[in-house]
Amino acid sequence: MFEKILIANRGEIALRIHRACREMGIHTVAVHSTADAEAMHVRLADESVCIGPPSARDSYLNIPAIVSAAMITGADAIHPGYGFLSENQNFASIVEEHGITFIGPSAEHIRVMGDKVAAKAEMVRLGVPVVPGSDGPVASVAEARTTAADVGYPVLIKASGGGGGKGMKVARDESELEDAFTFARTEAKAAFGNDEVYIEKFLDKPRHIEVQVLGDGKGAAVHLGERDCSLQRSHQKLLEEAPSPALNASAREAIGKVASDATAELNYQSAGTMEFLYEDGAFYFIEMNTRLQVEHPVTEMISGIDLVREQIRIADGAALGMTQSDVKLEGHAIECRINAEDPTTFRPSPGRVTEYHPPGGLGVRVDSGLYSGYVVPPNYDSLVAKLIVHGTNRNECLMRLRRALEEFVIGGIDTTISLHGQIISDQSFINGDYDIKWLESFVGVDR
């Protein structure tokens, strides 16, 4: 087993990875920018290395600095967390070339899944249902017209290099197609340096359902159920839950089986997430994320499986060590992402935390690097805490979550705690009746 792991990330996820390492008897190396010298992940790690100035480009995205830090400290593996370099195939390759294990999938799997057209083609090959659309990239307006007519309007033009909503444009009918095509291409070029686009049937009000998978890279794989991530605003998720209130037992089994079979067929190694859109009882693959996700704790809460520990074991060459029938999903879990933001305008609210009292009690988990006196720097993502609550069923989970949100005190900065209280008191949310458009109209009205 690894003796020392370098954690190439910051904030709550660096802490989360450190905790798994500690329990496994593995030493940790934190890396940090000058803005994060006082961060909790730096304080808890066995060693720390400053890798650059506040700008992420010069620190958490600085490949030579991070690989050097691993060499100097003698780390035998690097965990990238989420964001930053976690889905950078170049980083994964360089790490491995230096004789250090990258805790995640192969650089080749990162590359294929990062190319949305290639990922979709791979899933078609494996028999995974995908959104009807072009077979591969669409190179001209003329080709776009033919494809869109075949698929039927409305259509969505998407960037091959995309994900996260950039380089995406709807065409409601043929009159909108040329402008939409040109817009998507231009935005894709600017955002990803790649103007390749493809076309899909536009689903109007789907739910965003993702399936957590684990593979050992040797053909064994399991799924750990789904998460419903439909509650998002501007492609930023606010709250996630597992299981999805929208799926019945047979849909759940079907989507899980499709995901675990594909993971096994790919010889995929590590944790991954297959994202689907779910509408009118049918599900369609859209993308695969080759990293540990922000919302992984909801899956941990219903499965009892430590996903970071599994990633580390698998990266060390261990077999999966579980079959699908060993995976027992119990109860219901909800995660609230607590951001240092104004809960009405969503403007970032960095600054000094004057009071910090996280909630506790049965079924309550808080992943956060906050402490009283900590200064939230303005340079990074505004996520400062995740409140994850488990109950024997959705109703118990909601009651417990309401109580935990009431207990949670973060003073000195604005946070989205109060917004979560409003969301979970709304009757549509309580009924589980929401889709990817719901939150935008919820936060848009009455404020």
Query: Catalytic residues, which ones?
Result: 291
Q: Which is nearer to ligand MV4, 20 or 156 (CB)?
A: 156
131 binds ligand MV4 (CB under 6 A): yes
Q: Which is nearer to ligand MV4, 232 or 270 (CB)?
A: 232
Q: Which is nearer to ligand MV4, 269 or 299 (CB)?
A: 299
Phi, psi of 364 (to 5 degrees): -115, 130
Q: Which of 163, 225, 297, 377 binds ligand MV4 (CB under 6 A)?
A: 163
Under 8 Å between Cβ of 338 and 356? no
Q: 3-class SS at 136?
A: coil
Shortest distance, position 267 Cβ to ligand MV4, whole Å: 25
208 binds ligand MV4 (CB under 6 A): yes
Distance CA 425, CA 206 (A): 22
Shortest distance, position 155 Cβ to ligand MV4, whole Å: 8
Q: 3-class SS at 142?
A: helix
Q: Which is nearer to ligand MV4, 6 or 203 (CB)?
A: 203
Shortest distance, position 165 Cβ to ligand MV4, whole Å: 4
Task: List Cα–Cα distances, 200 to 158, 274, 318, 343, in angstroms.
Answer: 8, 18, 39, 34
436 binds ligand MV4 (CB under 6 A): yes
Instruction: Find residue 221's DSSP bridge partners.
Output: 215
198 binds ligand MV4 (CB under 6 A): no
For residues 315 to 344, the per-residue mask of contacts with ligand MV4, x marking binding by CB under 6 A and - elsewhere, is ------------------------------
Distance CA 194, CA 184 (A): 11
272 binds ligand MV4 (CB under 6 A): no
Shortest distance, position 174 Cβ to ligand MV4, whole Å: 18
* 374: number of Cβ within 10 Å: 20
Buried b (16+ CB within 10 A) or exposed e, 268-303: bbbbbbbbbbbbeeebbbbbbbbbbbbbbbbbbbbb
Distance CA 390, CA 109 (A): 33
Q: Which is nearer to ligand MV4, 31 or 203 (CB)?
A: 203
Q: Which of 202, 285, 408, 438 binds ligand MV4 (CB under 6 A)?
A: 202
Shortest distance, position 337 Cβ to ligand MV4, whole Å: 14
How far does CA 184 lie from the centroid of its chain? Answer: 24
Buried b (16+ CB within 10 A) or exposed e, 213-239: bbbbbeebbbbbbbbbbbbbeeebbbb
Distance CA 436, CA 304 (A): 28
152 binds ligand MV4 (CB under 6 A): no
Rule CB under 6 A: which of 4-63 touch ligand MV4?
none
Is residue 154 reached through a cis peptide bond, with omega within 30 degrees of 0 on the bond before it?
yes
Q: Which of 232, 273, 289, 299 binds ligand MV4 (CB under 6 A)?
A: 232
Under 8 Å between Cβ of 121 and 137? no
Q: Which is nearer to ligand MV4, 39 or 131 (CB)?
A: 131
Shortest distance, position 47 Cβ to ligand MV4, whole Å: 37
Phi, psi of 433 (to 5 degrees): -100, 85
Q: Which is nearer to ligand MV4, 42 or 119 (CB)?
A: 119
287 binds ligand MV4 (CB under 6 A): yes
Q: In what order do the strands lie in the sheet with 269-279?
A: 282-289, 269-279, 207-216, 221-233, 236-242, 332-339, 383-391, 364-368
The one segment of 90-98, 104-112, 202-210, 427-435 that binds ligand MV4 by CB under 6 A: 202-210
Q: Which of 7, 123, 148, 156 binds ligand MV4 (CB under 6 A)?
A: 156
Shortest distance, position 441 Cβ to ligand MV4, whole Å: 13
The size of the interface with ligand MV4 (CB under 6 A), counted in residues, is: 17
Shortest distance, position 210 Cβ to ligand MV4, whole Å: 9
Under 8 Å between Cβ of 115 and 161? yes
213 binds ligand MV4 (CB under 6 A): no
184 binds ligand MV4 (CB under 6 A): no
Helices 307-315/296-303 angle, 10° precision: 100
Q: Which of 74, 127, 165, 378 binds ligand MV4 (CB under 6 A)?
A: 165
For residue 182, the one-letter residue type is: T
Q: Which is nearer to ligand MV4, 51 or 177 (CB)?
A: 177
* Contacts with ligand MV4, residue ranges (CB under 6 A): 131, 156, 163-165, 200-203, 206, 208, 232, 235, 277, 286-287, 436
